[in-house]
A and B are shown apart, each in its own frame.
Chain A
Amino acid sequence: MTAETILLVEDNEDDELLAIRALKKAATPSKVVVARDGEEALDYVYAQGKFAERNKLELPRVILLDINLPKLSGLQVLESIRSHATTRLIPIVLLTSSDEEQDMLAGYSLGANSYIRKPVDFDEFIEEIGLLGRYWLGMNRTPNER
């Protein structure tokens, strides 16, 4: 594995740009792959559909998953990934602009590793994304890494 891949599942272009910018600011040496909806995210993870050519064995290092997504919701994507033996250990961080308790509870009970509320303040956002990137790409070692 050469490049650390981060899968960013985000339907909002603005949020996508800001997230990528934040990840860059946090200086995480990684390649960011963006999926626009739940289906595309699963296609990437399972290397199917338009990602069928992709090396199936290369799993993203971390998935930043928005909850509100077209087609399949973030929680459905999470459920699917957690139900497959090969993908169930991928770290998944839920991103959402809502701070509804129920989302948080549902996310954790489906096996999300972390939960980040996208704050209005961009400075805060950079801080949180940076923290996240350093944690999952730097210090934390996942079972995929051998």
Chain B
Amino acid sequence: MLSIKGLPIRQKLSLMIMAAVLFAVVVLTTVFIAYEFYNQKQGIVSEFTTTSKIIANQSQAAITFGDTATLTENLDGLMLHRDVIASCVYDANFKLLASLMRNKTVQPCPKAPALNLSLFDTQHYVRTEPIIVDNDFQGLLYIRVSLDNLYQQQTDYLIAMLALAVLISVAVYYLSSALQTIISTPLLELQHTASQVSKTQDYSLQARKNSTDEIGDLVDAFNSMLATIKAQNDKIKEDAELLEQKIADRTRELADVNNYLAISNKELDVANKELEAFSYSVSHDLRSPLRAIDGFTKALLEDYGDELDQVAHSYMKRTRDASQKMGDLINTLLQLSRVSRKDLVPVKINISTLCQNIVDELKSRQPDRHIEVEIDPVMTVYADAKLLEVALDNLIGNAWKYTGYEARPRIEIGSYQQQGKTVYYVKDNGAGFDKRYAKDLFSAFKRLHATDQFEGTGIGLATVSRIIHRHHGHIWATSTLNEGASFYFTLNESSPEDIESDAFYGHTHNAEA
């Protein structure tokens, strides 16, 4: 079976046709031979029934008279038939009266054969015919017929049939070879087209349609499948080209943006340089005249103080105070610009110690003020030490300043966890501020209090806010007027943008005694 499966479809088809035809030939031949054999046998039976009846009739007188010579003569007539090989005549007592054998090898007459015998064994036909005289059983005729000729005839038939089968096979072979192409040719063409398509990837090929049968349908289906694939391929190609075009466009746009960014960066660098130069000259050039104003006013006071009246003295004091104030303003402005420019160098900072130092410094400057200060003792964070100090300096300094009119001033510095982040706070019970102006708190030069009440430049909280934002943190404040203010801030909240942020990650609240 396996070998048949592997055969090409042409040979399969030829084999199928041949097998079918040969099967028909064999069946027909077998039936024919069997029928002929049966017919021949019937012929033998019918022939010898008649013959034996005639001989039996002819023998009636001879048997009555025991005329064996006549009986033998009758038998001799029987032997004229070439197939009869033995003939015997018995009297009523089955005594053999006459017998004739074709040759010596033939079996002798049986002793007492049955009456009305008519049977075939493998080699012979045996028949007995009773000889009846006036309704009396007078004797029995026995005939044995050879079937050799019958068999010979059958063999001849068989040979003839085989020869015919061979002839038919050859004829069928050629005929089927021609016939199978009706089916195999379109299939092979289809197969050829399919392999051509898979080899060349050319989906524009089409298979030729030769018939309107199932193979024709198959060709149609195949062609429409190819057309679909081609259409899809074209679409994919088109899409791919479109996509490539888009990518190229985006890449170009990106390059443009990058260029633009590079230029912007350069401009930013230039602007930064300019800013640096500007703040340098501000710090140098603006301070000089101030120093002169202050210095010469002082010189005037020292050298000519005696000649001036009290009003002149007070004017001079105001002059000196104003120049002093302007000096402070310049300093804080410079600090704000420096806070923006400085590179962040994050290190682990003990906030508690830092706050304590700031408080100690404030205390030493104003030893007469008694403020209750409470600092959470275990606060550490990764941040830029200088900037954080500036920020805390401002926040604590503010709390210190705005509790100035409080009977029992109190400052609390601590932290708590909120949504996985550490929130630090500086609370006081001082003057506070009006909630309506809370959004202005962190803008430069915005002051919510009169200068005569609380001194200040209005830059401190702007500086703090900038420091917190540079650490990717948030700052906000709550307050009730005259009951105090609370400033909250977080550090490094947003995702890291650059290396400076990495060091901050996840170290916001390490307990450290």
Alpha-carbon separation in the docked complex, A12 to B292 (Å):
10
Alpha-carbon separation in the docked complex, A121 to B323 (Å):
8
Alpha-carbon separation in the docked complex, A98 to B334 (Å):
10
- Is there contact, CB below 8 Å, between A120 and B283? no
Known: A14-B288, A15-B288. A120 touches B294 (CB 8 A): yes
- Is there contact, CB below 8 Å, between A100 and B283? yes
- Is there contact, CB below 8 Å, between B299 and A96? no
Q: Residue of A at shortest CB range from B303? A: A21
Q: Which of B284-337 contact A (CB under 8 A)?
A: 284-285, 287-292, 294-299, 323-324, 326-327, 334
Q: Residue of B at shortest CB range from A103? A: B280
Contacts of A21 in B (CB 8 A): 295, 299
Does A99 count as interface, using CB distance less than 8 angstroms?
yes
Q: Residue of A at shortest CB range from B287? A: A97
Q: Which of A67-84 contact B (CB under 8 A)?
A: 68
CB distance from B288 to the nearest CB of A (A): 6
- Is there contact, CB below 8 Å, between A125 and B284? no
Does A145 count as interface, using CB distance less than 8 angstroms?
no
Contacts of B334 in A (CB 8 A): 99
Contacts of A14 in B (CB 8 A): 288-289, 291-292, 295-296
- Is there contact, CB below 8 Å, between B327 and A121? yes
CB distance from B505 to the nearest CB of A (A): 29
- Is there contact, CB below 8 Å, between A123 and B298? yes
Does A122 count as interface, using CB distance less than 8 angstroms?
yes
Does A29 count as interface, using CB distance less than 8 angstroms?
no
- Is there contact, CB below 8 Å, between A96 and B284? yes
Does A118 count as interface, using CB distance less than 8 angstroms?
yes
Known: A14-B295, A120-B324, A121-B294. A98 touches B288 (CB 8 A): no
Interface string of A87-111 (1 = CB under 8 A from B): 0000000001111100000000000
Q: Residue of A at shortest CB range from B301? A: A122
Alpha-carbon separation in the docked complex, A12 to B289 (Å):
10
- Is there contact, CB below 8 Å, between B298 and A118? no
Q: Which of B234-289 contact A (CB under 8 A)?
A: 280, 283-285, 287-289
Known: A14-B291, A14-B296. A120 touches B280 (CB 8 A): no
Q: Which of A52-77 contact B (CB under 8 A)?
A: 68
- Is there contact, CB below 8 Å, between B291 and A120? yes
- Is there contact, CB below 8 Å, between A125 and B295? yes
Contacts of B287 in A (CB 8 A): 97-98, 118, 120
Alpha-carbon separation in the docked complex, A141 to B327 (Å):
36
CB distance from B318 to the nearest CB of A (A): 15
Does A33 count as interface, using CB distance less than 8 angstroms?
no
Does A49 count as interface, using CB distance less than 8 angstroms?
no
Alpha-carbon separation in the docked complex, A122 to B295 (Å):
5
Q: Which of A14-33 contact B (CB under 8 A)?
A: 14-15, 17-18, 21
Does A138 count as interface, using CB distance less than 8 angstroms?
no
Known: A120-B323, A121-B324, A122-B298. A97 touches B283 (CB 8 A): yes
Contacts of B298 in A (CB 8 A): 122-123
Alpha-carbon separation in the docked complex, A99 to B286 (Å):
13
Interface string of A105-140 (1 = CB under 8 A from B): 000000000000011111101000000000000000
Q: Residue of B at shortest CB range from A100? A: B280
Contacts of A15 in B (CB 8 A): 288, 291-292
CB distance from A10 to the nearest CB of B (A): 10
Contacts of A125 in B (CB 8 A): 291, 295
Most buried by B among A98, A99, A121, A122: A122
Alpha-carbon separation in the docked complex, A87 to B291 (Å):
32
Contacts of A122 in B (CB 8 A): 291, 294-295, 297-299
CB distance from A17 to the nearest CB of B (A): 8
- Is there contact, CB below 8 Å, between A120 and B290? yes
CB distance from A51 to the nearest CB of B (A): 26
Known: A12-B288, A120-B323, A121-B294. A98 touches B283 (CB 8 A): yes
Most buried by A among B283, B323, B334: B283
Q: Residue of A at shortest CB range from B294? A: A122
Contacts of B326 in A (CB 8 A): 120
Q: Residue of B at shortest CB range from A120? A: B327
Contacts of A18 in B (CB 8 A): 291-292, 295-296, 299
CB distance from B154 to the nearest CB of A (A): 131
Q: Which of B107-135 contact A (CB under 8 A)?
A: none
| Seed contacts A18-B292, A21-B299, A120-B324; 19 additional CB < 8 Å A-B pairs | A12-B292, A14-B296, A15-B291, A17-B295, A96-B284, A97-B287, A98-B284, A99-B334, A118-B287, A120-B287, A120-B294, A120-B323, A120-B327, A121-B324, A121-B327, A122-B291, A122-B298, A122-B299, A123-B298
- 14 pairs, A vs B, C-beta closer than 8 Å: A14-B289, A15-B292, A17-B295, A97-B283, A97-B287, A97-B291, A99-B334, A100-B280, A119-B327, A120-B290, A120-B323, A120-B324, A122-B291, A125-B295
Chain A interface residues toward B at CB < 8 A: 12, 14-15, 17-18, 21, 68, 96-100, 118-123, 125
Q: Which 6 A-B pairs have the closest CB atoms?
A: A120-B327, A14-B292, A122-B295, A97-B287, A18-B295, A98-B283
